[in-house]
Each structure stands twice: as structure tokens, then as C-alpha cells.
Amino acid sequence: MRVLVIQHHSNSGMGHLVAPAALRGVEWGFVFPLERGDPIPEATGGHDGLVIFGGVPHANDDARYPYLKQICALIEEFHNERKPVLGICLGSQLVARTFRGKVYKAEQSEIGFYGLGLTAEGEDDPLLRGRAPNPVHLIEFHYDTFELPRGASQLMTGAPYAPVQAFRMGETTYAFQPHFEATPEQFREWLVNAKNWVDREHPHLPAVAEAQLAQHAEGARDFAHGVGGAWFDLVAARRKD
């Protein structure tokens, strides 16, 4: 099976998803619209699934990043063809936007590990069922959030200023606000690269980041391997239909 990946930054990509993908023989097609100016495909082509990772753009900032509208159109193409979609962080916000969910600046940014709850629908979801403790602690690195699109199933909850943390649209399109793919190495690099923002909004975090990793990194990795693997299995199953 072949999966298309839209990756905004070279340091914000596969992470923990490499292992479950390799076990299943996934082939990749990469698009880097921000760093390399790669064009966004207009159709699903020979790809069986779509992953959209995080990045610095605001999901509604078409003036500075006109390709965002094209990503939304591509998400809709995959969804309509019932080819699985996985949006993470900015990717989740773009999925929400695609299905008319309001994306807006949160009252408070989230950086670091946060405890996220599974809803009843989340506990029964094919990807999450039996693969996540409740709550589960995952890495967040965002300043925008979104409302649940009409017709979507909310899978995970968060703080009052970012209450929708994951949802499913239909049977094949998933959106996760947390960076469940992120490795400890990626997290450390993001903290360095975003130092000014981190120091301004979460000045306590650098002092406790390693303690957070020591406490939660293993569980986050297991979540990524389990849920990521289940998503790749969904791609394989849809490919056979």
C-alpha cells in the first residue's frame, strides 16, 4: 500500500509512525509544500491513504499559505473515495476546516504533555479501542484549536480552551490535535527551535520537559505504535475493498 504524506517541516514528520509502517510494508509519497514549494496533488492518484502533519501555518491563513485550500480539497477527495485520512496537529485543524468546523486561536496554547480523556465513542472506536489508557498523556504543541464538525464523532477531550482533541468523520477520516507521532528527540528539537515562544507562554516547561518525557514517553510511544498501526491496517483493509 502507498500513503501520501504532506509534511510542512523536515523535523515534524513520521517519528513513531515509522515502526508500524515498516512492519506493514508501507510505501511513501512525500510532499513538502512549505519548505520545498511542492505542489499539492489534485487527486488521490495511486495513493491508498493520506497523512497531514503539523506546521507553523494557521489553518485559515490562505493569504500567506494559499496551498492550504488545496490540502482541504485533497482531504475531501480522499474522504469521498473512502481512502483513510490521518490529520495531526495542523493536519487535524485542516480536517476540521474541510468539514466546516471552526478553527480559531485558543485562549491558551498547549506545549508539552497533557492528559487527554477518551469519550465513550473514543473507547469504542476501532483505532482506539483497547489501545489507550484513559486518560492518555500525549505531546501538544499548538496555539489553534477547533470546533467539532457537524456529523463527526468526538473521540478525545482536553482542557476547556481546547476541548476537542480528536474526532472521526465517517469511517475513514481521523483528526488528532496531539502530536502522538512525536519522538522525544523531535520534542526536544521543537523546544529549542521555538524557544522564544516557549519561554513567553510556558516559561516553566524547559525545566520539567525531561521529567515529563521520563514519565510519559513510553506510554506515548505505545499509543503511537498501536493507534498508528491500526490506521495503517485500515488503509490496507480499504485497499482490498
Per residue in 13-30, pLDDT tens?
899 999 999 999 999 999
Rounded Cα gap, residues 6 and 68, in angstroms: 11
Nearest Cα to Cα of residue 144 among 87, 193, 192, 195: 87
Torsion sign over Cα 234, 238, 239, 241: positive
How does residue 241 score in pLDDT terms, banded at 50, 70 and 90? confident
pTM over 0.75: yes
CB-based contacts of 218, cutoff 8 Å, min separation 6:
none
pLDDT of residue 240: 81
| Domain range annotation of the chain | 2-240
Topology of domain 2-240, per CATH? Rossmann fold (3.40.50)
Q: What is the pLDDT of residues 109-157, one digit of tens each?
A: 999 999 999 999 999 999 999 998 999 999 999 999 999 999 999 999 9
- Whole-number average pLDDT of the chain: 97
Helix/strand/coil for 141: strand
Rounded Cα gap, residues 127 and 233, in angstroms: 9
* % of the chain beyond a pLDDT of 70: 100
